[in-house]
Amino acid sequence: MLAESSGTPSRLRLIAELIRLPNQTGTLLLMLPTLWALVLASHGRPDPRLLAIFAAGSFLMRSAGVILNDVADRRLDRQVERTRARPLASGRLSMGTALVVLLVLLAIAGSLLLLLDRLVLLLSPIAILLAAVYPFAKRILPIPQAVLGMAFGWGTVMAWAAARGTLDPQAWLLFGGTIAWAVAYDTIYALQDRTDDQRIGIRSSAILFGQWTWLAVAVSFGLMALCLGAVGWMSEIGLAFYGILAAGCGFVSQQVRMLRGPVSPSLAYSMFRQHAWIGWAVLAGLWIGFF
């Protein structure tokens, strides 16, 4: 609480830390699949207004999501080396301040929905529900990463609805592909905390798969590539997209090879962040494939 009493600049720094402002990898991993959906739904000519809305919405909802996560996990975070210094876990920021920031973020995100199709508005409560459920999934489900994938993947469904006004089969394939991708990269991310998570009883795919984590990542990314390939075929996209998708598979195969050996927390984090570049590559491939 001392940090809050020292003035507004200090509080703003804590809020920036709370929403992970210095590290936007999570925002990119949420945003990029929505951009895939917009590009695919428009055959390579997405509405710039929709691109801006979903980019802003991704930042707002990812920021809101990490606050929900920290509120739910603040006591558990104190027992994990990597997270014990977070603003809520360490007591440097009050719950009241965090909840006010959360409400402001959700209000701004809600205002963006008013600019979109009615179908998107009807789909939006599911996005909030999935974001709220995820922190508790870690206490119950052996693969909470799948719930994270649903939360991130729901953005593709909303983006497709915004671009088309309908939900075609391609939207659901993108949803499934994003879930599989999230299981792959978040399993790698979970390797950072595997020892602490086992000690305090938190579940994760990194614990469930153990020595077979490399295989789980390979299968998950393979499913993501199959879903994207199917969407590309249904959308009659050019061969350039498949070339870039194949290159992404080759890159992940190198990660899989490294996962077969010892993986330090710093290496796991670095490998996780590399998936944002994979997302950008897929987006570029989709755009090129339509021209």
Residue 151 is predicted with a pLDDT of: 95
| Model pLDDT for residues 134-178, shown as the tens digit of each residue | 989 988 999 999 999 999 999 999 999 999 999 999 999 999 999
Q: With 80 as the cut, is the pLDDT of residue 273 above it? A: yes
Q: With 50 as the cut, is the pLDDT of residue 239 above it? A: yes
119-158 burial, b if ≥16 CB within 10 A, otherwise e? Answer: bbeebbeebbebbbbbbebbeebebbbbbbbbbbbbbbbb
Number of other residues whose CB lies within 10 A of the CB of residue 20: 18
Residue 218 is predicted with a pLDDT of: 97
Q: With 80 as the cut, is the pLDDT of residue 228 above it? A: yes
Q: Using alpha carbons, list the distances in angstroms from residue 211 to 139, 215, 260, 272, 273.
A: 22, 9, 8, 18, 22
% residues pLDDT > 90 (the chain): 88
Q: With 50 as the cut, is the pLDDT of residue 3 above it? A: no
Q: What is the pTM of this model?
A: 0.93
Q: pLDDT class for 9, splitting at 50, 70, 90?
A: low
Q: Which domains does the chain have, with CATH numbers?
A: 2-289 (1.10.357.140)
51-80 burial, b if ≥16 CB within 10 A, otherwise e? Answer: bebbbebbbbbbbbbbbbbbbbbbebbbbb
Instruction: Tell me the average pLDDT across 266-274.
Output: 97
Which of 291, 170, 278, 181 is closest to 240 using CA atoms? 291
Question: Are 156 and 171 spatial neighbours (Cβ–Cβ below 8 Å)?
Answer: yes
Instruction: Tell me the average pLDDT across 207-234.
Output: 96
First to last CA, the chain: 56
Average model confidence (pLDDT) across the chain: 93
247-268 burial, b if ≥16 CB within 10 A, otherwise e? Answer: ebbebbeebbeebeeebeeebb
Q: pLDDT class for 81, splitting at 50, 70, 90?
A: confident
Q: What is the radius of gyration, based on Cα positions, of the chain?
A: 19
